[in-house]
Structure 1
């Protein structure tokens, strides 16, 4: 696992933990707040997957250039 992958994984784990704690401690238990947090977290995961994919592609390209 590369350093960048570990960093992104740590950020995602922290975001997931933060979202869970926010839902648990939220004084307003309405569905609206839960929906907003869920949407935000899904958007964060999608963006993170895109970033990881981009980093992975860059690393693969550099490895291919070194081997060539």
Structure 2
């Protein structure tokens, strides 16, 4: 990934996180938005963990190929 792409991705992720936090902190009497955002964050965290595990496996495979 290029440096510029990482910066843009970081800015977009920060904006999304800020918007989500604003929605969570807003006064919603029913709590529906809070529940939906909480579920969304959990899904996002799970997807991030899976992607990180995939990248870790790729790095380990590459290192083992280089050492062989």
Q: Structure 2 length as normaliser, TM-score?
A: 0.66
Q: Which has the larger radius of gyration?
A: 2
**Equivalent residue number for residue 22 of structure 1:** 23
**Equivalent residue number for residue 56 of structure 2:** 56
| Count of matched residue positions in the alignment of Structure 1 and Structure 2 | 59
User: Closer, same or farther in 2 for the Cα pair 1:18/1:64, shift >3 Å?
Assistant: farther
Structure possessing the higher relative contact order (Cα contacts under 8 Å, 6 or more residues apart): 1
Could you say what the CA RMSD is over the residues aligned between the two structures, in angstroms?
Answer: 2.4
User: Closer, same or farther in 2 for the Cα pair 1:18/1:49, shift >3 Å?
Assistant: farther
Per-residue deviation, 1:29: 3.9
SS at match of 1:61: helix
